[in-house]
Amino acid sequence: MKTILVLSSLFLTACLSAAAQSYKITNSVNLFGDTVIIHQDSHGIKTATVTISKDLFGNRIKTITDGNGRKVESVKQSKDLFGNDITNFYDENSMIKASIKRYKDMFGNEIESTSGSDGQEIRSVKKSKDIFGNAVVDIDDKRNQRKLTIKNSKDIFGNITKNIVDQNGKELISITSAKNIFGEIETTVKCSEDRNSQRELLDIIRELED
């Protein structure tokens, strides 16, 4: 599920780290007012170009090409008739790969809905607060057939805890950040899942915090 949300960054990471440890990034503005970001490796060879522009309707478009100028993908940010934010991901042939819609429900909760190339919803994320004011994130992953809830809380000492539970209320992972006597923050992770599942759960947390 994470791959759909970060396709652009994954491609750029692959281009920039494929054959060199160092690289150069050049920013410029072309005659049309578009921002052009050129990535080069340590030998000065162009590895990728990111062009950020706007269409006639003011929609922001990011187009990524490889070192040979071939289009890899594009991302378009726009709003629908109700003012909701829409992000569409397109492949090298301008065919839609995924779409993310962000809006608020009648209770003011933030909703992020991800659809696949066929328009069917594959994941939804709802951000809300419980009666104590703690942040709660509900994830409905339709592709992997599971639901997760992330609960954030703070105790009287200011220690912050994140808990992920499944649809049955089983705790999968607990992360607590607290200060020791020296004022340094120590993080404790407790997980009942295997290493791969733990890595996936941590990726979910990092994704939602970005």
Instruction: Phi first, then psi: give them for residue 126, nearest 5 degrees.
Output: -115, 125
Do 141 and 109 lie in one domain? The reply is: no
Share of the chain above pLDDT 70, in %: 87
Among 115, 146, 165, identify where a domain stops. 115
Instruction: Please indicate, yes or no, if residue 125 is contained in any of the structural domains.
Output: no
Tokens representing 118 are: 């066929």
121 is a domain residue: no
Kindly report, residue by residue over 156-178, the tens digit of the pLDDT.
888 889 898 888 888 888 889 88
Q: Do 143 and 83 share a structural domain?
A: no
Residues composing the chain = 210
Residue ending a domain, choose from 115, 150, 173: 115
Separation between Cα atoms, residue 39 and residue 156, nearest integer Å: 48
**Do residues 103 and 152 both lie within one domain?**
no
Are 166 and 203 contained in the same domain?
yes
Rounded average pLDDT over 176-201: 83
Q: Mean pLDDT over all residues of the chain? A: 83
Q: Same domain, yes or no, for 165 and 195?
A: yes
Q: Is residue 123 part of a domain?
A: no
Same domain assignment for residues 44 and 92: yes
- Examine residue 209 and state whether it is found in any structural domain, yes or no: yes
Question: Does 59 map to a domain?
Answer: yes
Give the integer Cα–Cα distance in Å for 167 and 171.
10
Q: Are residues 174 and 210 in the same domain?
A: yes
Stretch 179-185: mean pLDDT: 84
The first and second tokens of residue 62, run together, are 């990011």
In tens, the pLDDT along 48-94 reads: 899 999 999 999 999 999 889 999 899 999 999 999 999 999 999 99
Overall number of domains in the chain: 2
CA distance 132 to 135: 9
- Nearest-5° Cα angle at 13, 7 to 15: 105
Residue 124 lies in a domain: no
Instruction: Indicate yes or no: pTM above 0.85.
Output: no
Asked if 26 and 50 sit in the same domain, the reply is: yes
The parent domain of residue 142 ranges over: 130-210
Q: Tens digit of pLDDT for each residue in 13-59? A: 555 444 444 478 889 999 999 999 988 888 888 888 999 999 999 99
Of residues 66, 76, 69, 82, the one with CA closest to residue 98: 76
